[in-house]
Amino acid sequence: MKKFTLSFTQWAGSILLLASKFFLGDYQEAWIVSAIGYVMIVLFNVLRNNYIILVTDVFLVISSTYGFFKMVNGKTEADLTQLDVLFIILTAVALLISIKKQYRSYSKDSENFDTKKFRFQVLATVCILPAFTLLSLRFSIGWIALLCAHFFLYKLFTHIGKSKAIVYLQVISMGIAIYKIFTIFIPTVSF
């Protein structure tokens, strides 16, 4: 039963996140789907006793919820409020806590310390938290950060030999980010 629950939470979360990424910025409901997807990923990591990236995943739930709040209230990037500044500071704090937690976890086993794995994990974290913060604040440049995050996750998962399906999910996510970048920054290009 636990194996089924693990598999279900991982795949349900992944599918929800892919769908939400495609519709982020266009539909406010995409932020709710994103939050639910990240809740599934949090549950997946808790069931696996993988607490290394829990801070990152929990923050992505918060960031998705905040993106919904901003979109429902019709805010644009020009409408930065004191709450937005507080959210940006919270992003920096979450980023520092997450990196510190990752370093502690990886350095516990100093004999088997995998420098590449640690670097890819940290680089993905450094990109994904600001990406979602920027996107939740309605800054389109967040798509470039999201593209970088999925590139580093792709490198991480290929380095540690994760299943091809997980690697393909990163490739699809990069494709979605590239599509968003082209349609936002080069509006004359259509697919």
CB atoms under 10 Å from CB of 69, counted, come to 15
Q: Average per-residue pLDDT in the chain?
A: 87
Per-residue pLDDT reduced to its tens digit, 75-125: 666 678 888 899 999 999 999 998 988 888 877 776 777 888 889 999 999
List the chain domain ranges. Answer: 2-185
Per-residue pLDDT at 46 exceeds 70 = yes
- Closest by CA to 154, choosing from 164, 145, 144, is 164
- Provide CB contacts within 8 A for 170, sequence distance 6+: 150, 151, 153, 154, 157
| pTM, full prediction | 0.87
